[in-house]
């Protein structure tokens, strides 16, 4: 495949920055780099533009350095929350990858970050908080806190059935309409038929005075007999 040398006029990831002289495929340069004005052919006339391109590159790198330094300070204070399904034993189904973290940074904080700058030695496979290294620029690194939470609801604890038998066996000492006795008060035990309250004793009527007993002869008869004795006989 034919190769050609070009001078890059813009930063191209994986290829180079402004003012870099690189060799690329002739078809790639002709069909993509030149029409997009990302590179120019390496000629004597174009070499005069190298100083201008180098100055442009210096300004761009200084701006990116300041931007990434400020971004590193902001990201170090954030906590990126991700969710995952888990089993009954709390183990995750699947793992959290750098691409998932980059998506959540965009969704939660509107931060666009290339997943290649998120350095994971291995995918996250456990719940809880994890510290992830971010390599934002050549000399700019920071740590992002990532918290993985479970979307599976916890199991509902079993509720013991109410003890109906103990309620039935407990004696009822209260009647409807009465206030319940305070807790801890002793209640009389019921044995056999319920006790009845004694009725109040009736008041006795005062004794009537006894009437005098009349003699066999009435006072009138005695009076007449006495009068006859007092009269003189004729």
**b/e 125-136 (16+ beta carbons within 10 angstroms → b):** eebeebebebeb
Q: What is the percentage of the chain residues whose pLDDT exceeds 70?
A: 65
Q: Could you report the per-residue pLDDT of 37-55, keeping only the tens digit for each?
A: 999 998 888 888 888 899 9
Give the burial class of 111: count Cβ atoms within 10 A of its Cβ; 0-12 exposed, 13-18 middle, 19 or more buried: middle
Give the per-residue pLDDT at 168: 55
Q: What is the mean pLDDT of the chain?
A: 79
Give the per-residue pLDDT at 47: 84
pTM, two decimals, is: 0.55
Give the burial class of 154: count Cβ atoms within 10 A of its Cβ; 0-12 exposed, 13-18 middle, 19 or more buried: exposed
Cβ-proximal residues to 49 (8 Å cutoff; 6+ apart), any chain: 7, 40
Tokens of 211: 């009437």
Give the per-residue pLDDT at 234: 43
Give the per-residue pLDDT at 24: 93
In the chain, the domains with their CATH numbers are: 3-48 (3.40.5.10), 72-150 (3.10.430.100)
Measuring CA to CA, which residue among 134, 127, 95, 88 is closest to residue 111?
Answer: 134
Give the burial class of 9: count Cβ atoms within 10 A of its Cβ; 0-12 exposed, 13-18 middle, 19 or more buried: buried
Q: Is 142 helix (H, G, I), strand (E, B) or coil?
A: strand
pLDDT of 214 over the 60 cut? no
Give the per-residue pLDDT at 88: 80
Mean pLDDT of 163-180: 55
Q: Could you report the per-residue pLDDT of 91-147, keeping only the tens digit for each?
A: 888 899 999 999 999 999 999 999 999 999 889 999 999 999 999 998 899 999 999
């Amino acid at each position: 495949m034919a190769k050609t040398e070009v001078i890059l006029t813009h930063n191209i990831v994986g290829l180079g920055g402004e003012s870099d002289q690189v060799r690329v495929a002739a078809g790639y340069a002709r069909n993509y780099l030149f029409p997009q004005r990302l590179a120019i052919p390496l000629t004597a006339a174009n070499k005069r533009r190298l100083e201008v391109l180098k100055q442009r590159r210096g300004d761009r790198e200084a701006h990116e350095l300041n931007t990434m330094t400020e971004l590193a300070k902001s990201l170090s204070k954030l906590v990126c929350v991700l969710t995952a399904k888990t089993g009954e034993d709390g183990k995750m189904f699947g793992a959290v990858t750098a691409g998932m973290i980059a998506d959540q940074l965009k969704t939660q904080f509107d931060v666009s970050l290339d997943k290649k700058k998120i350095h994971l030695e291995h995918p996250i496979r456990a719940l809880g908080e994890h510290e992830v290294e971010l390599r934002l620029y050549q000399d700019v690194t920071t740590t992002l806190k990532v918290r993985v939470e479970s979307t599976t609801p916890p199991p509902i604890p079993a509720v013991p059935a109410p003890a109906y038998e103990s309620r039935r066996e407990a004696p009822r000492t209260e009647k409807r309409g009465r206030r319940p006795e305070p807790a801890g008060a002793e209640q009389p035990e019921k044995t056999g038929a319920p006790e009845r309250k004694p009725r109040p004793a009736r008041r006795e009527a005062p004794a009537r005075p006894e009437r005098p007993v009349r003699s066999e002869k009435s006072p009138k008869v005695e009076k007449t007999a006495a009068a006859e004795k007092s009269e003189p006989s004729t």
